[in-house]
Structure 1
Amino acid sequence: MLANDVKPTSGKEVLCKVCGDRASGKHYGVPSCDGCRGFFKRSIRRNLQYVCKEGGKCMIDVMRRNQCQACRFSKCLLVNMRREAVQHERAPRSSAPPPCNLVSIPFDFYTPQKALPVRPANILLPLPTLMPVDLVYKPIDSQFTTGYCGFQRELNILNPAFDKQQSSLGMENNNTINLSKTNDSFDRVNPLKGVSSLQTEDGNCKELIFESAAKLLYFAVKWARSIPHYNHLPHRDQSVLLENSWAELFLVMASQWGLPLENLTISKELDNIRHVLQQFRHLKIDVAEASCLMALILFKAIPSLSTTSIEYISLVKDQSIAYLADKCGAFRLGHLLLLLPQVKNAAIPKFIQDTFFKGTVGEVAIERLLGDLI
């Protein structure tokens, strides 16, 4: 084993040799925290090269370890973390992520047992470095049957006439699904392929767009409901948060699952949406990053929320940012956070509803229907 539990003999807590945080074990020959372990492993495996703008004189500690990757890597080598230990470590069985789906994301690092009390002193406590494997987006396939059946019920809320169209969409009256038909019109979506990956054979583009959009909205709502911190809030506050974020969540979901845009009427608003989706593809946003961005979008300190909820939301946002900073470093964190105003600017609720949902909900505002989905 390359990582062993470190048990202090003097009764004192063993600290990470790189940044001084609490060590989780002996990694690559040195007592270190999960953050520095993961950083060193990524740097070696990807053969990353870093340059320090301050001439290699940056201080590396818990608060500043993400400010300079070059000095952090140098510190790893200085304390004798072993390159060969990473290179000889057993590689994953497959380069593909574990087969899980987004709608079952539990946000395990926010579970009630680990959730911190809402006190300012706790905001700076470190997050667990490893995200759960359930934070992986999964294309629609046979493992998604249960979620798909649930989607049929929710789509009935969005479109009272949907039950008359089930057979043409591959959904049968007995609440089962003909996946061969469904996959023809909503093919397996690679998150990095983006919006062009959805194809249809029958050329019924409008119907495909409306159905795809309804699925994405349903998955976004179900994702929110899977987060324990969201469920702990008063029901009224849950509704307010979702009503103020559904359009933005919809776009982030579209960036990961894909959405057919090719045959829509060209407009400035649609160009903005295309630009945002292209930015996600260009930055190669992974599933953990996308999930954290969705958490930052969902948990907004809206004035109409209760005081307790606002404090709770502040904690969740701080934890999400802390995780992103530790996962990807300050430079990439900046690029990720700059996406949020772009998403907000492109996610115009009225335009998104008229473009993607008019065929399913007509003139009824999406905000009025969200309560039935929560």
Structure 2
Amino acid sequence: RSNRDCQIDQHHRNQCQYCRLKKCFRVGMRKEAVQRGRIPPSHSSTSPNTIPSGEYFNGQPVSELISQLLRAEPYPAARYGSQYAQQGSVMGIDNICELAARLLFSTVEWARNIPFFPELPVSDQVALLRLSWSELFVLNAAQSALPLHMAPLLAAAGFHASPMSADRVVSFMDQIRIFQDQVEKLNRLQVDSAEYSCLKAIALFTPGRVG
């Protein structure tokens, strides 16, 4: 659209790459990191519905970086939680623990294959993952379509793994409630795969800016 203010949702998200990138900026991507190329602007060859070819992030086209983030997904077609929802089965504590472990493992595998991260010293990689793992877990949980009834089971799994004092139980349950609220909000936004990949990269590389 000519006004560059498109609605970005499940039905319109592929119509305007410019507004999709703008959505990523709103959630924390630093605009100063995007550089304009040296090619002069051309009104005849640039459409408002595409990311301008002159936009770069650390020397690479933004569109190519997004493609690399998508290719780094360990299980791009897998939606771990959907198999339980479709079968109508009840997830037990063992299922929840296995599912959580798979999500954490996929997070590490994804990080190892995205641009720039493998070039960092191992100590920096570990530090970034430690600082951002909870945000990445929430994003992966929402992206994987985990059934909403899993939150109480996550709490039960936590109690089963380690006895807690009353104060810790209250704090732990608050964290579970926040986790479920965040997953529900992401589901309502109908975020697509490219947007999830960008959000995860933002969370990983700028952990101090993610709430």
**Residue 199 of structure 1: how far off its partner (Å):** 5.1
Report the CA distance shift for 1:128/1:246 in structure 2 as closer, same or farther (over 3 A): closer
Tell me which amino acid in the other structure corresponds to 1:139.
A
Report the CA distance shift for 1:253/1:199 in structure 2 as closer, same or farther (over 3 A): farther
The answer to whether structure 1 residue 128 and structure 2 residue 62 are counterparts is yes
Tell me which amino acid in the other structure corresponds to 1:290.
Y
Larger radius of gyration: 1
* Contact 2:142–2:183 (Cα < 8 Å) also in 1: yes
d(CA) in 1 for partners of 2:86, 2:106: 17
* Contact 1:139–1:188 (Cα < 8 Å) also in 2: no
**Residue 200 of structure 1: how far off its partner (Å):** 6.1
1:285 to 178, 184, 191: 191
1:207-356 to 2 correspondences below 5 Å: 207-262=94-149, 264=152, 267-300=173-206, 340-341=210-211
**Residue of structure 2 equivalent to 1:31:** 45
What's the Cα RMSD here? 3.7
**Residue 16 of structure 1: how far off its partner (Å):** 2.2
Number of aligned residues = 150
d(CA) in 2 for partners of 1:127, 1:219: 26
The percentage of counterpart residues that share the same residue type is 27
**Residue of structure 1 equivalent to 2:4:** none
- Structure 1: 4+ residue segments shifted above 4 A: 186-189
Report the CA distance shift for 1:240/1:286 in structure 2 as closer, same or farther (over 3 A): same
Report the CA distance shift for 1:199/1:211 in structure 2 as closer, same or farther (over 3 A): farther
Report the CA distance shift for 1:14/1:253 in structure 2 as closer, same or farther (over 3 A): same
Deviations 1:195-221 (A, max 9, x none): x847564x4511111111111001011
d(CA) in 2 for partners of 1:243, 1:269: 17
**Residue 261 of structure 1: how far off its partner (Å):** 4.5
Tell me which amino acid in the other structure corresponds to 2:144.
W
Query: Greater helix percent: which structure?
Result: 2
Tell me which amino acid in the other structure corresponds to 1:288.
A
Gaps of 5+ in 1: 1-11, 18-29, 40-61, 64-108, 117-125, 142-185, 190-195, 303-336, 342-374
TM-score, scaled to structure 2: 0.57
1:1-374 to 2 correspondences below 5 Å: 15-17=41-43, 30-32=44-46, 36-38=48-50, 115-116=58-59, 127-129=61-63, 131-132=66-67, 135=70, 138-140=76-78, 186=80, 188=82, 197=85, 201=89, 203=90, 205-262=92-149, 264=152, 267-300=173-206, 340-341=210-211
d(CA) in 1 for partners of 2:130, 2:201: 14
Higher relative contact order (CA 8 A, sep 6+): 2
* Contact 1:241–1:299 (Cα < 8 Å) also in 2: yes
* Contact 1:242–1:298 (Cα < 8 Å) also in 2: yes
**Residue 262 of structure 1: how far off its partner (Å):** 1.4
